Amino acid sequence: MAFGPTILAMSSCQSKNKSFAIIPSDKDDLILSEGLHYDVLLKWGDKINSHEAFGYNNDYTALTYLSKDRALLWVNHEYVHPLFVSGYTRETKRTKEQVTTELTACGGSIVEIKKNLNGTWSFVSDSKYNRRLTGLTKIPFAADKVVANKKFGIGTFGNCAGGVTPWGTILTCEENYDSFIGELSHEGEKSESRYGWEKYYPDHHPHHYGWVVEVNPRTGEAKKHTSIGRYAHECCTLAKAQDGRVVAYSGDDRKNEFIYKFVSNTKDSLDDGELFVADITNGKWLSLDINKSEVLKKNFKSQLEIQIHCRKAARLIGATPCDRPEDIEIHPSTGDVYIALTNNYSSRDLKNPKNNFFGKILKIIPDNGDHGSLSFKTADSLIGGEESGVACPDNLAFDKKGNLWVTTDMSGSMMNKVPYKKFKNNGLFYIPLAGKDAGKAFQVASAPKDAELTGITFSEDYKTLFMSVQHPGEKSRSLDALTSHWPEGKGNVPKPSVVQIQGELLDKLMS
Ligand code: FEO
Ligand code: CA
Ligand code: CA
Ligand code: CA
């Protein structure tokens, strides 16, 4: 399906037959198009079993069906806002207990949900499946790999987006691990983290984070895959090569970092295979196999060392730097790989002409339609900016008709300010890729203050869209100066929550 870089005016959303589009809003509320409504399914702090609670800053969501009406919902908990979670502020001295509370609020939740007779979904509070993975859960490395002298890492955090495997497991991706635990470079230089957890948990080695973690939602068993590399993994999206092998796409969400592809040796495991990085200029996947590159052989002692320091290896072999690769989705009929490149600007130098404030959605079109192919073409799919009405695309999802759904992530410190003023709060957009409106973006949701909409997952019957509302009120300076009270309203602290969206408009948009 062809879908060029069509640029259309924001006002086109207001045409008579498309009156469902909302206008940007700066209200502290989750505002939806007419014909859609939502319920909060789970919010931060909700008890999910006798001893565990739903974590903070819910992000990626994924479903595993137990039957037509029962499913396990996986939810990432990416990071915490210390003011709300542990009470820590810059004016106070941090305690180990506070750090433990923060670690416990990150990771992921597995909860059972059931479909009611009226079609809505409810959380099953007494399900045997309800459990947490946290920043303190012991997780082994896959294929018995040893990283920094350990066969396991303690905990998972920075869990941003993810993926699902054909064999029924969930992939959760460790993104900004260095903000929590610091970094140890290939040259042996240590850098401190913003959260400072390493001071209280010195055994949390930086090399134990930044991986793709595979979780069995039925048992809670997890493993960290060194095979797919270590960097700020946004997501891990699987496809099938023509020869049946499983292929995983993932991006490194950091300015001027890269897009990767992992091709497994088998059809049913991510434990072993070959890692590639994209040379977008020449439309080639470059192998990160130590035995295929003299420059890698010269700079690294082992394949594992390359996997731990992917960024350095990718740069050495000439990969193409990107404008912060975020979510990746495969078009259900064309097989094209859609990648949100969210933005790339210097907040210290907002006048720099090289700044890319609005991002775009890039398409990688594998040669011969084969995800196993080592060459590809690219095309711009959607250009962010005032004309498209979309700024900073982040999470993507396709519906059953191949329409693209996109959430945006303008940063809290820049939202409602120049150059983002006109876009107001972050939103959810519906973009048909075929028909007369192909390429037009229609806003269908606006987030509460400071929040980002993320983790968009359709139910199997496409009657429900599950969505995370992440970091509402994150710019609050104190509990006396809250910027958001969503979802419980005035007098309450903001709470990241997963909502279910339903309504006749969902059907109409996919008809
Ligand atoms: Fe966690 Fe790149 O967003
Ligand atoms: Ca993201
Ligand atoms: Ca997605
Ligand atoms: Ca984000």
Ligand nearest to the CA of 325: 1
Atom of ligand 1 nearest to the CA of 176: 1
DSSP 8-class letter at 167: T
Measured in angstroms, how far is the CA atom of residue 347 from the centroid of ligand 1?
Answer: 17
Measured in angstroms, how far is the CA atom of residue 86 from the centroid of ligand 4?
Answer: 22
The predicted structure's pLDDT at residue 434: 96
The predicted structure's pLDDT at residue 65: 98
Measured in angstroms, how far is the CA atom of residue 350 from the centroid of ligand 4?
Answer: 20
Q: Is the pLDDT of residue 474 over 90?
A: yes
Measured in angstroms, how far is the CA atom of residue 173 from the centroid of ligand 1?
Answer: 10
Q: Mind listing the pLDDT tens digit for each residue in 350-401? A: 999 999 999 999 999 999 999 999 999 999 999 999 999 999 999 999 999 9
The predicted structure's pLDDT at residue 6: 33
Residues with CB under 6 A from ligand 1: 78, 160, 175, 234, 253, 326
pLDDT band at 58 (very low <50, low <70, confident <90, very high): very high
pLDDT band at 134 (very low <50, low <70, confident <90, very high): very high
Kind plus residue range of the DSSP H or E element containing 97: helix 96-104
Q: Mind listing the pLDDT tens digit for each residue in 231-249? A: 999 999 999 999 999 999 9
Q: Mind listing the pLDDT tens digit for each residue in 426-465? A: 999 999 999 999 999 999 999 999 999 999 999 999 999 9
Atom of ligand 1 nearest to the CA of 324: 2
The predicted structure's pLDDT at residue 18: 64
Ligand nearest to the CA of 456: 3
Q: Summarize the confidence of residues 74-88 as an average pLDDT.
A: 98
Q: Give all strands (DSSP E) within 148-243, no chain letters.
A: 152-154, 159-164, 170-174, 183-184, 190-191, 212-215, 222-225, 237-240
Q: Is the pLDDT of residue 5 over 70?
A: no
- SS3 annotation, 2-27: CCCCCCCCHHHHHCHHHCCCCCCCCC
Neighbours of 120 (CB within 10 A): 14
Ranges of each domain in the chain:
42-226
Q: Is the pLDDT of residue 12 over 50?
A: no
Atom of ligand 1 nearest to the CA of 175: 1
Which residues lie across from 427 on neighbouring strands? Answer: 446
Measured in angstroms, how far is the CA atom of residue 120 from the centroid of ligand 1?
Answer: 29
b/e map 330-346, b = 16+ CB within 10 Å = bbeebebbbbbbbbbbe
Ligand nearest to the CA of 471: 4
Give the dihedral of Cα atoms 431, 434, 436, 442; nearest 10 deg: -10
Q: What percent of the chain has pLDDT over 70?
A: 96
Which residues lie across from 366 on neighbouring strands? Answer: 376
Q: Could you give the 3-state DSSP secondary structure of residue 32?
A: strand
Backbone φ/ψ region at 260: left (φ over 0), alpha (ψ -120 to 50), beta? beta
Looking only at the bridges linking them, the beta strands covering 442-446 and 31-32 are: antiparallel
Ligand nearest to the CA of 324: 1
* Minimal-distance CA residue to ligand 1 atom 1: 160
Find, among 158, 154, 194, the residue nearest to 78 by Cα.
158
Measured in angstroms, how far is the CA atom of residue 325 from the centroid of ligand 4?
Answer: 11
Atom of ligand 1 nearest to the CA of 161: 1
Atom of ligand 1 nearest to the CA of 342: 2
Which residues lie across from 61 on neighbouring strands? Answer: 75
The predicted structure's pLDDT at residue 437: 96
